[in-house]
Amino acid sequence: MTLDQLRIFVAVAERGHMTKAAELLGISQSAASAAIRALEEQHGVHLFNRVGRNIELAQTGHRFLPEAKAVLERAAAARNVLEHVSQTVAGSLSIAASLTIASYWLPRRLASFHEAYPAVRLSVTIGNTRQVEANVLDGTADLGLVEGRTESDILRRTKVDVDRLMLVVAASHPEIVEIAPGRPDIRGLRWIIREGGSGTREVLEDLARREGISLADLQIFLVLPSNEAVRQAVEAGAGATIISDLVVGRAVAEGSLRSVPLELPKRDFAMITHRDRQASLAQMALKAHLGASADHG
């Protein structure tokens, strides 16, 4: 068996879907299927059960999964040793980032990192905070970048920047009733929000809690999977949202959105890594680069 076969097996096992695993690894679905089939045929075993369009681990697959992960981790550790000996910053890095960071904060920083370290191959997957945390925990990602809270105590969390949040409505939205100056009546607003597990949704949940109510007490009109979809719905007059200044700052400046006065806490953009996994030279270089680039804006 090869390390590539093991990587494909682990990716398929964790996602329960051949195509999604292939997309994550940057290979074709047929290549992923062929690797699994070759692994099964080489050893005369049955690793997966096919259930409709999805696949699930067979009993043998369940037994094999922790061993396959262990081999991949040992191979990564061995590669790290060689990198440290040679002091060459090279190899590949997988990054999982939440949507706001991946779309608005990360691209130019990765571009400048590539200029400094052209031998490092970078791949980025995008998900909400919960998904990014899961990817770092299971080793799918070498490091994660999130704006929401993380729950696991085996993750290291390092602040890399600060994000300013805004309550916005369309420029044509009627004036908003205030309970007190700078305290809008959030029950009276029609809300457009992100899905569960996203950082901006957590902020609205915290705001509701501060007002002594729950999210269920608010008029939730739309739940959308991306910041751009939320911004466009708000611009169209569908309701209000809490969202990053990175996403709506230009629209507010140009007048298509209106910022509503509201004290909202700033939130950290944080890098998360697994406490028990040794960082490669490439990972340490990227951590230093992201921290330094944040310091310089």
- In the chain, the domains with their CATH numbers are 3-73 (1.10.10.10), 88-162+268-293 (3.40.190.10), 165-265 (3.40.190.10)
Among 20, 9, 16, which Cα is nearest to 65's?
9
Distance CA 260, CA 293 (A): 31
Answer yes or no: pTM beyond 0.85. no
Cα atoms in the Cβ-side hemisphere of radius 13 Å centred on 116: 15
Instruction: Please give the distance of CA 121 from its chain centroid, rounded to a whole number.
Output: 19
H or E stretch at 160 = strand 155-163
- 3 state DSSP class of 107: helix
Calculate the alpha carbon distances from 121 to 136, 215, 235, 286 in Å: 18, 42, 38, 11
Phi and psi angles of residue 110, each rounded to the nearest 5 degrees, phi first = -70, -35
pLDDT, tens digit, for every residue of 8-66? 999 888 888 888 888 878 888 899 889 999 999 999 999 998 877 778 899 998 999 99
Find the mean pLDDT for residues 144-169.
Answer: 91
Distance CA 135, CA 9 (A): 16
Maximum Cα interatomic distance, the chain, rounded to a whole number of Å: 72
Distance CA 176, CA 258 (A): 11
Find the mean pLDDT for residues 168-190.
Answer: 91
Q: Which amino acid makes up residue 168?
A: V
Residue pair 147/100 in contact (Cβ under 8 Å)? The answer is yes
Count of residues making up the chain: 297
Residue 119 has pLDDT above 70, yes or no: yes
**What pLDDT is recorded for position 173?**
93
H or E stretch at 63 = helix 59-86
Burial 122-148 (b: 16+ CB within 10 A, else e): eebbbbbbbbbbbbbbebbbbbbbbbb
Phi and psi angles of residue 131, each rounded to the nearest 5 degrees, phi first = -70, -40
Tokens of 275: 């406490």
DSSP state, residue 240: B
pLDDT, tens digit, for every residue of 225-240? 889 999 999 999 999 9
Tokens of 153: 């105590």
Please provide the average confidence, as pLDDT, over all residues in the chain.
88
Reported confidence tier of residue 83, pLDDT bands at 50, 70, 90? low
